[in-house]
Structure 1
Amino acid sequence: MTKIPGARTAPTGILGFPVAPMDQSGRLDVNAFEHNVKFLLQEGLSAIFVACGSGEFHALSHQDYRQMVETAVLVAQGKVPVYTGVGGNITHALELAKLSEGLGADGYLILPPYLIEAEQEGLYRYLNAIIGSTDMNAVVYQRDNCVLTLNTMQRLLDLPQLVGLKDGLGNMDLNIELTQTIGNRLTWLNGMPMAEVTMPAYVNLGFSGYSSAISNYIPHISRLFYEALLSGNQVLLSELYKHVILPINAIRRQRKGYAVALIKAGMQIVGHPVGTDVRPPIIPVESEHFQKLELIIKDAFDRFPRTGATPKEANTGA
């Protein structure tokens, strides 16, 4: 997708969220990160979201963040949109928004504010300041301590930069109220942990995209799932849930932080050079859970073979 000046649309479909690989000194492994982004592009994901939750936004240095954005923009070359994660304390969020704009990103995903349990007016002021600080497209991440009422969302609609809402809360009453009142003024994205689990409930509300953690290591399963969902192929959906999606989700729920660590474990299993180290307070996947994931992934490739390149070939571009 070529960037169109003034375009106000959020990406839809299967959204890629690369990880933040570490070198031995704990800094970003730029080569491994570039490899991750290239793989997602080769697999046909519709957008790249860097330095967000999967990219360990909470622990990145300013230099690591800059390198991730620069690398993603360079690799994508305008073929798909590149969004960045901004959030935390307001000063930092505004700095990262300006930095992302200067580096040529297409938009940003606004993560929750740091620590504070705010009133709706406070959340409005926080989001309004960030969204209005640049001309980039902005997507609000609804989760944790950033849960917006319909009235607050409607106030933010005055900002043309606001193009979407990503839901990581799972409050379906609120989702119905938002989507059925606001309609297609916003693009609705499913950001629940392992979004494949809940996407059937979301798609009927008008959600047209979701973040796929497993696309970092088994993207062909992400594609099979989404195609089966949109085409109503219930037989294939049931098989994917039974043998891949629900078993992986069961492991993910074993420990806090596995939403990130399990992605790196899966990537390590299929041969991506990202390592399994994660930044505190996230913990790496325990050996028992790693072995279970390994068996699930092997079974996934046996039951649902990839077409075209092997994982190794797709990784290297061979």
Structure 2
Amino acid sequence: MNRRRQIPKGILGFPVAPFTEQGCIDEKALNENINFLVDEGLEAIFIACGSGEFHALSMDEYRQMIDVAIETTKGRVPVYAGVGGNITAALEQARISEEKGVDGYLILPPYLIAGEQKGLIDYLSTIISSTDLNAIVYQRDNAILELKALQKLLGFPQLVGLKDGVGNNEQNILFTQNIGDRLTWLNGMPMAEVTMPAYLPLGFNGYSSAISNYIPHISRLFYTALIEGDKKTVNELHREIILPINKIRNKRKGYAVSLLKAGMEIVGMDVKNKVRPPVIPVEREDYEQLASIIEYAYDKYPRASKQER
């Protein structure tokens, strides 16, 4: 297949995995989540990834979430799925993703084991070569590549991007200076708006925005100000909204996921503050602090109407 090797850039949407009271995937809420992100102008949808509680999904739920994403987006934006964990499961997820017709996948770290560089190359090349889909490597946790290892993977045309969740910008400079635009570089750091001012000059022109699930207009305002050199707006948004949310996010392990659902519930979306163990729901005090920040964000920076967007 002569697939178009075009990579999403800009602000990337990572929907959550909404659950019903019975603990099943809430397809209606997921549809609303995805439509909200697409309508707000996010450039791509990454389904069943970290924000979508990839670690806690059954294979049937994985299929279900991809089906909802494909049906909801209707080709308006690219759809990427998460694959990873143990190699057998990752290959099955890659096969499912190809069958469902997604544009590509984000390869998350292997399960538990920290391998040598050769082992990581083998893991990634096995997944990348298993389909013709575009592949993005997620650099984090126990999947941290050295330059020579990443260069060895460039022989696969399917490899189109690297998403960095480590924050070692000395290494990122080595990557971007030696590899250049052969890959698209994405910032995947926790709450990427915090670090994007440091990543943009290195050639990272896209990032995953978790807060877009509930304040996407703030993400857009921030990114536009950043690329236009409007330091005043960037600094204001950092001080008043982004850093205060990040402070709450860092209070508890698992808030990277549950704080998104809390924010979505606060703005009136049909997503409950309900997550699967070992992640915990947002505690009441933190929930109220987040609600105050969101209220301030919408008051000071009103969301544009559909006609204005």
**TM-score where L is the length of structure 2:** 0.98
Task: Give the CA deviation at 1:64.
Answer: 1.1
2:307 is aligned with 1:280: no
Task: Give the CA deviation at 1:10.
Answer: 1.3
CA-atom RMSD, angstroms? 1.3
Give the letter for the 1:192 counterpart. M
Identity of aligned residues (%): 62
2:9 is aligned with 1:15: no
Query: CA–CA distance in 2 between the matches of 1:180 and 1:144?
Result: 23
Task: Give the CA deviation at 1:305.
Answer: 1.0
Selected match of 1:237 from 198, 222, 234: 234
2:286 is aligned with 1:302: no
Give the letter for the 1:297 counterpart. I
Query: CA–CA distance in 2 between the matches of 1:24 and 1:247?
Result: 30
Secondary structure, aligned partner of 1:194:
coil
Task: Give the CA deviation at 1:6.
Answer: 1.7
Selected match of 1:78 from 69, 75, 80: 75
Query: CA–CA distance in 1 between the matches of 2:288 and 2:22?
Result: 27
Selected match of 1:132 from 129, 134, 137: 129
Counterpart of 1:176 in structure 2 is 173
Selected match of 1:203 from 175, 200, 214: 200
2:25 is aligned with 1:28: yes
Runs (5+) with no aligned partner, structure 1: none
Counterpart of 1:261 in structure 2 is 258
Query: CA–CA distance in 1 between the matches of 2:34 and 2:298?
Result: 22
Task: Give the CA deviation at 1:309.
Answer: 4.8
2:137 is aligned with 1:157: no
Query: CA–CA distance in 2 between the matches of 1:21 and 1:15?
Result: 19
Give the letter for the 1:81 counterpart. P
Q: Contact 1:179/1:206 (CA < 8 Å) preserved in 2?
A: yes
C-alpha offsets along residues 161-215 of structure 1, whole Å, 9 cap, x if unaligned?
0000000000111111111110000000000010000000000000010000010
Query: CA–CA distance in 2 between the matches of 1:43 and 1:17?
Result: 13
Selected match of 1:212 from 198, 209, 214: 209
Query: CA–CA distance in 2 between the matches of 1:24 and 1:60?
Result: 16
Task: Give the CA deviation at 1:9.
Answer: 2.1
Q: Contact 1:13/1:208 (CA < 8 Å) preserved in 2?
A: yes
Query: CA–CA distance in 2 between the matches of 1:39 and 1:152?
Result: 38
Counterpart of 2:188 in structure 1 is 191
Counterpart of 1:60 in structure 2 is 57
Runs (5+) with no aligned partner, structure 2: none
Task: Give the CA deviation at 1:142.
Answer: 0.1
**TM-score where L is the length of structure 1:** 0.95
Going from structure 1 to structure 2, the CA distance change for 1:113 and 1:162 (only over 3 Å counts) comes to same
Counterpart of 1:250 in structure 2 is 247
Counterpart of 1:166 in structure 2 is 163
Query: CA–CA distance in 2 between the matches of 1:239 and 1:146?
Result: 35
